[in-house]
Amino acid sequence: MAESCPMNGGDGTYSYAKNSTGQREAARVVEDALRDAVMENLDLSKLLCGSTTFAVADLGCSVGPNTFYAMETIIKAVQQKSCSTNLEFQVFFNDRIGNDFNTLFASLPQERNYFAAAAAGSFYGRLFPSSSIHIAYSSVAMHWLSKLPEGVAVKGSPAWNGGRIHYTGASDAVVNVGYP
């Protein structure tokens, strides 16, 4: 699929922004678990080492309200944990270069309490300097493959998946074929 298959951009009838309530629900369902994980596991003094900037990345953010909702959930949880008013937040919105970053940035919430930046490129490669992100979040994106796994579309191959695009109930050969 290389870089050629982004979600529908813009905010029209068929845009991802207007057709992703299911994915929004996925973000909503994990909200409590996310907040609990931050409250229980985040060691801010160790992570920040005196810095007052907290960096969050959304890997595979697409366009639309879902990413803003998720980033706000994380920021709220970190604020609750830190009890400090000094903390500033930097959010990196990551997606492939074909993503409609223009619409994403044009629709940023006006009242947001974070600095926003794009990190364009594949999350299978290196996107950030080491130790520069405190929380990396990703929802409904990691199952996207950069290319077809070998053999799944080749009739006669042990990994032939019978023309299906999912591997629920598939043979071990299909399941173990390895992700690119």
Ligand X SMILES: C[S@@+](CC[C@H](N)C(=O)[O-])C[C@H]1O[C@@H](n2cnc3c(N)ncnc32)[C@H](O)[C@@H]1O
* Selected binder of ligand X within 105, 115, 124, 179 (CB under 6 A): 124
Binding mask 130-159 for ligand X (x = CB under 6 A): ---------xxx--x-x-------------
| Residue with token string 């044009």 | 106
CB of 113 or CB of 146, closer to ligand X? 146
SS (H, E, C) 114-175: CEEEEEECCCCCCCCCCCCCCEEECCCCCCCCCCCCCCCCCCCCCCCCCCCCCCCCCCHHHH
Smallest gap, in angstroms, from Cβ of residue 40 to ligand X?
24
Q: Is 70 exposed, middle or buried (0-12, 13-18, 19+ CB in 10 A)?
A: buried
Question: Is 73 near ligand X (CB under 6 A)?
Answer: no
Task: For residues 90 and 74, give the distance between their C-alpha atoms in angstroms, rounded to a whole number.
Answer: 12
Beta carbon of residue 72, minimum distance to ligand X (angstroms, whole number): 14
Which residue lies nearest ligand X, judged by its C-beta? 60
Q: If binding is defined by CB under 6 A, does position 20 make contact with ligand X?
A: yes
Cβ distance to ligand X smaller for residue 34 or 87: 34
Q: Are 161 and 174 in contact (CB under 8 A)?
A: yes
Residue numbers of the site for ligand X (CB under 6 A)?
A: 6-7, 20, 23, 27, 60-62, 66-67, 94-96, 99, 122-124, 139-141, 144, 146
